[in-house]
Structure 1
């Protein structure tokens, strides 16, 4: 039946959705073809036709997910009034919660489009927290495996950032991603993920994610990489206490040539940090304060300054067994022994140093690391790390095998080998005449 030729084609399509949705994979594939053929009908601007939204009540999102998705996408593609945005967001949220993953994966572009409209509506309402839970469900339903990066990952992480739901964002960042379709999704995923980790003070993970952005393949410089490089400098200073201006060999030449040109205030900060002098570091911060504020990085810059106090205190533990709070304050340029005490207590609590404070005489005694690496918890941690490395090794071997069988790769290697074979042939007489 040609649905577009029927006078009641929308009604006929609804009937087809109801009849085929619960069938076999073949039935769903047939339904998908019918829906694609009827797209023009669903988005028609003919005022005499009922809108797709009016038929949604006849469909069950948990049973007719594919058909419901097409009707929902068509109905939300039209302009939405501010008054109706809340209702639209609610209807999409309910659909995301109820829909079947195997059906919406047949039309991933439609599902992504609907989810992004949902994100736009909650941002328009200035209520990003309302979008966090539904978008997490959407990510999980769209994913074929936890190793896949979907186009919805960056949108979800953005909502987590704006809603300050950092822990929820971390739940997705714990996945090991190996499958990436679009470079922009990867850039945004790592950039937003790095910001979430900064918010949770997980600077090691933040450093890894931002490093991925800076060193990822790119043919032209982009704003995401520039902003990631600035934050990468700051995070490196906080986490490692230093920053190297040299790039790894696998970094694109575009990044190596251009990133430093856009980040000079941050490189100046790294140079000041390397002196170990608080006064020089604070002078540099004041000099570039407007730039740091404009980049929304001043809060992280202040954490860089705070980390230098900690780094200088840690250096003292390598030289002294005991030291007074007053001496610590003088050595690391703190204003008072009370301020030194607060820093030392916080570092003890965070496990950054091992020490005890004698409140009576104001003396600090530095201790050795008490970890003996033989507790059940530590053994389990080491074992899980070994298992993870073994799994990664298998994954790399499989990827290497897959690439070695890729026709495009083999063709390129063949051309290069052919060229080298001729070069070697030409050099044979020279070698024989030596």
Structure 2
């Protein structure tokens, strides 16, 4: 019998139960090199198998058949084939070869980008992420690929669907950096600046032995989003930030530091002038749109400062103080801020007077109580998770042996060696 026909027969015969699947995987691993060597026949072989029943075998064949360079014409044929496999495949099968499944899905991403239709990869990759995940807390190598396609196709809402999950398990550090960076950009696109700030903060403060480009680009956006969300930016990073990041990030982001310094003065004319002078730098970083939002946010910050000083103020006075062109423009800003819950005020249309009010929230409504309760429950769940992780780490042999070496290194009982250790 032809070796390829024999392999098809084995795939069909060994795809029904877990014990047989382990045996099939061993056979497929041994046949991997021959599959790549005979890749021209694989598309015909693939058509003889059902991806829903023979997922593991289909995965090995599909991975081998797509390993080489792909033209646009071939990509147009392969995209629906891979998408169909992702949608039909059994999760328990593909999790036996997660690296191969991730490789096939990444090739789908490359091919839809080659065809310049990233939107065609969004739905299949979301399905792939959910199938590869053992739990929603697991960050897979496909998370960043999916978010990248969401960004390129502007399918921001699809990207938000996985950003709501709490992540505790990570395979590769680079996946976390890209996941948080792309996720931050998606949240910026949806103007969810609080969530964007959280994700970008994770990139900047994540452990790193050397500075990387992802962290640098994330820090630039982190500065801008901080100004939009809080109206200020603190140059002091948390203590748990790596020393590498604390030493080097500022040097790569000097124009953004200067922008933040000017923003803190509240002088809109100086800010606009600085942005215009450094327009090319911000444009090269693909941050010009976000910088423009920073400029617009200064008007809001200046209006908010007025609420701390005045009880009533005319729209004309607001326009003059905040350097807006007309009372009508001031009214537009104030109305938008009232709608967004950023200030509490009423406008008298007859005399054009704005009356600033106190926050009406008394924290005793049913909605607020439910919100507080859900927050407490989430914190309690997080506390239990951290306790379990702490116990797991404290029993890890690798950690204990390393901690023991470090303790011995700084053992001060041997006083004779102290001067030598510290070069005294």
Shorter-chain TM-score: which interval?
over 0.9
State how far apart, in whole Å, the 2-side matches of 1:166 and 1:328 are: 35
C-alpha displacement of 1:75 = 1.1
C-alpha displacement of 1:424 = 6.7
Counterpart among 34, 40, 53 of residue 41 in structure 1: 34
Counterpart among 213, 233, 237 of residue 243 in structure 1: 233
C-alpha displacement of 1:426 = 6.7
The alpha-carbon distance between structure 1 residues 342 and 425, as it changes in their structure 2 partners (threshold 3 A), is same
State how far apart, in whole Å, the 2-side matches of 1:50 and 1:360 are: 79
Give the corresponding residue for 2:2.
8
The alpha-carbon distance between structure 1 residues 419 and 261, as it changes in their structure 2 partners (threshold 3 A), is closer
The alpha-carbon distance between structure 1 residues 426 and 394, as it changes in their structure 2 partners (threshold 3 A), is farther
Give the corresponding residue for 1:226.
216
Q: What SS does the aligned partner of 1:110 have?
A: helix
C-alpha displacement of 1:275 = 0.5
1:347 aligns with 2:337: yes
Are 2:345 and 2:354, in contact at CA under 8 Å, matched by a contact in 1? yes
State how far apart, in whole Å, the 2-side matches of 1:239 and 1:376 are: 27
1:20 aligns with 2:10: no
Are 2:394 and 2:400, in contact at CA under 8 Å, matched by a contact in 1? yes
Q: What SS does the aligned partner of 1:201 have?
A: coil
RMSD of the alignment, in Å?
1.4
Give the corresponding residue for 1:184.
174
State how far apart, in whole Å, the 2-side matches of 1:415 and 1:259 are: 32
Give the corresponding residue for 1:172.
162
Counterpart among 286, 292, 296 of residue 302 in structure 1: 292
Task: Encode CA deviations 1:199-243: one digit per residue, 9 max, x unaligned.
Answer: 011111111111111111111111111100100000000011111
State how far apart, in whole Å, the 1-side matches of 2:334 and 2:237 are: 35
State how far apart, in whole Å, the 2-side matches of 1:204 and 1:336 are: 31
State how far apart, in whole Å, the 2-side matches of 1:10 and 1:240 are: 63
Q: Single out whichever of 339-348 and 411-420 deviates more from structure 2.
A: 411-420
Give the corresponding residue for 1:370.
360
Q: What SS does the aligned partner of 2:324 have?
A: coil
1:357 aligns with 2:343: no
Are 2:14 and 2:21, in contact at CA under 8 Å, matched by a contact in 1? yes
Give the corresponding residue for 2:398.
408
Task: Encode CA deviations 1:7-65: one digit per residue, 9 max, x unaligned.
Answer: 51111111111111112x111111101000000110015xxx86111111111000100
Give the corresponding residue for 1:397.
387
TM-score (norm 1): 0.94
Counterpart among 148, 159, 178 of residue 158 in structure 1: 148
Task: Encode CA deviations 1:259-284: one digit per residue, 9 max, x unaligned.
Answer: 11111110000000110111121121
C-alpha displacement of 1:425 = 7.0
Task: Encode CA deviations 1:53-110: one digit per residue, 9 max, x unaligned.
Answer: 1111111000100001111111111333322211100000001000000100000111
Are 2:40 and 2:65, in contact at CA under 8 Å, matched by a contact in 1? no
Q: What SS does the aligned partner of 2:413 have?
A: helix
Gaps of 5+ in 1: 1-6, 428-434
Q: What SS does the aligned partner of 1:51 have?
A: helix
Gaps of 5+ in 2: 418-424
Q: What SS does the aligned partner of 2:96 have?
A: coil
The alpha-carbon distance between structure 1 residues 203 and 85, as it changes in their structure 2 partners (threshold 3 A), is same
The alpha-carbon distance between structure 1 residues 11 and 401, as it changes in their structure 2 partners (threshold 3 A), is same
State how far apart, in whole Å, the 2-side matches of 1:103 and 1:313 are: 58
Give the corresponding residue for 1:423.
413
Q: What SS does the aligned partner of 1:84 have?
A: helix
State how far apart, in whole Å, the 2-side matches of 1:268 and 1:225 are: 19
Q: What SS does the aligned partner of 1:248 have?
A: coil
C-alpha displacement of 1:418 = 3.4
TM-score (norm 2): 0.96
